[in-house]
Amino acid sequence: MLSVPAIADSNMPPAYWANRQLPDPRQESAATKLMFEIRCLVCQGQSVADSDAELAGDMRHLIRSRIAAGEKPNAIRAWLVERYGNWISYKPPAAPIGWPLWAAPLLLLGAGLLLVRKRISRRRAS
């Protein structure tokens, strides 16, 4: 009787394009660039290029086969975002919810200057 493995991995080999480079170097370069920008669904802190998860291999296979078929990387990214949301891309689009992040350094700098303006003017006066 076979024992059930502790790791939930299939018995099947990786998908064809999971670990093979595309023959066309320009396509492979576009595919690699995209793979580093798509988050792995299983190991959510890694890109699919870095992750060893089987599903990451299948996502690499998906990306490479579509690029080989002539699809544009941004179209593939949009397809994935449509299914999983913006977080799956390491290059999310600039959404209004992000503006505090960009404005905060400027605002803090401004607040800091306000705090020290009295000291600057005092020094100038003396």
Considering the complex, what minimum distance in angstroms separates the CB of residue 57 from another protein?
9
Considering the complex, what minimum distance in angstroms separates the CB of residue 30 from another protein?
19
Residue (of 25, 26, 27, 55) closest to 39 by Cα position: 55
Considering the complex, what minimum distance in angstroms separates the CB of residue 73 from another protein?
16
Q: Which is nearer to another protein, 61 or 77 (CB)?
A: 61
Q: Which is nearer to another protein, 9 or 50 (CB)?
A: 9
Is there a contact between 57 and 18 (Cβ–Cβ < 8 Å)? yes
Q: Which is nearer to another protein, 30 or 40 (CB)?
A: 40
CA–CA gap between residue 48 and residue 59 (Å, rounded): 7
Residue (of 15, 20, 26, 27) closest to 69 by Cα position: 27
Considering the complex, what minimum distance in angstroms separates the CB of residue 62 from another protein?
6
Chain contacts with another protein (rule: CB under 8 A):
4-5, 8-12, 15-16, 41-42, 44, 54-55, 58-59, 61-62, 80, 82-85
How far lies 29's CA from each of 25, 36, 54, 74, in Å?
A: 6, 11, 22, 14
